[in-house]
Chains A and B, each alone.
Chain A
């Protein structure tokens, strides 16, 4: 939780200064060294009181756009959302509580997906509803086999 200070001053300069201090050439490199770690935890590590998860999110997207790796970024965000809501992996039983956890992860992921990938994200959600992953499925990064099948790179 920030103290409302995340938006004061030049947050972008602050964010990249912290990334460099930690020895990473880019925010993407910093995040890749912390696979499946929720966005808010990345933000807290960079600036517990003065950086917010959506700032990390928007800069990860900006870097992904420059690298033409937006699809990979979209998979990466899904991994982090699943890890946040379902730390023990995909639930074996979809009771009401677990159904909500899945719904929250996918709803948040959908809202954090850029316009360019909205329709592909909807297809992924439909595919997960039709054919749920095996219980315990816990993708550890954007190169997860099932995720690559559901949302393959197209930029390459």
Chain B
């Protein structure tokens, strides 16, 4: 899957509640994905995609398929979410190219505010995202894969970082790498 990570917002949770009330979704379908504890929203299983029922209700766009993972920040509370610049769902691809150990993709995370993060993913408008491949993870993987196809060989770790750095500049992402703190 070439999707992104979407921060699940308080608004999103509200929408889930409304959909349940409207009978569009069953409680079990939502609770499979979301657990509400004392105002905090946690995905039941980090890194797991939403169940089919939720995806159907939201529209089956790439961002919706990729929706997973949230924490306090996703629920509108103060904590800057971390984001893998080298997409986590392609960890194996990067490992083959030397991103292991002290140079693993976990070393290349950035902290983004929710608004910025959503803007990078098409402002929450997946229809636009589908028409325009501007969403970060998809863009950077396409750039890297097509560059490899052109080079006729695997890119080196430094070449990948060179391309990623230019991509970050183009996207207005400050190059303040932090280490992944884990979920």
- Seen from chain A, the residues whose Cβ lies within 8 Å of a Cβ on chain B are 1-8, 11, 39-40, 43, 51-55, 57-58, 61, 99-100, 102-104, 106-108, 110-112, 114-115, 125, 129
Closest residue of chain B to A62, judged by CB? B132
Given A3-B174, A7-B115, A54-B171, A114 and B151 touching (CB < 8 A)? no
Assuming the A-B contacts A2-B174, A4-B116, are A114 and B150 also in contact, with contact meaning beta carbons closer than 8 angstroms in the complex? no
| Distance to closest chain B CB from A47 (angstroms) | 10
1/0 contact string of B167-178 vs chain A (CB within 8 Å): 101111111000
* Given A7-B116, A7-B119, A100-B159, CB of A107 within 8 Å of CB of B174: no
Could you list 25 A-B pairs, sorted by A, with CB under 8 Å?
Answer: A4-B112, A4-B173, A6-B171, A7-B115, A7-B120, A52-B172, A53-B169, A53-B172, A99-B150, A100-B159, A103-B147, A103-B148, A104-B159, A104-B162, A106-B147, A107-B145, A107-B148, A107-B149, A110-B143, A111-B140, A111-B142, A114-B131, A115-B132, A125-B150, A129-B150
Q: Please provide the chain B residues from 135 to 173 with a CB less than 8 Å away from any CB of chain A in the complex.
A: 139-140, 142-152, 155, 159, 162-163, 166-167, 169-173
How far is the CB of B107 from the nearest CB of chain A, in Å?
Answer: 19
B147–A53 contact, CB under 8 A? no
Majority secondary structure, B binding face: helix
For residue A125, which residues in chain B have a CB less than 8 angstroms away from its CB?
146, 150
A53 to B168, CA, bound (A): 10
Q: Is the CB of B171 within 8 A of A107?
A: no
The answer on a CB contact under 8 Å between A52 and B148 is no
The answer for the CA separation of A103 and B113 in the assembled complex, in Å, is 33
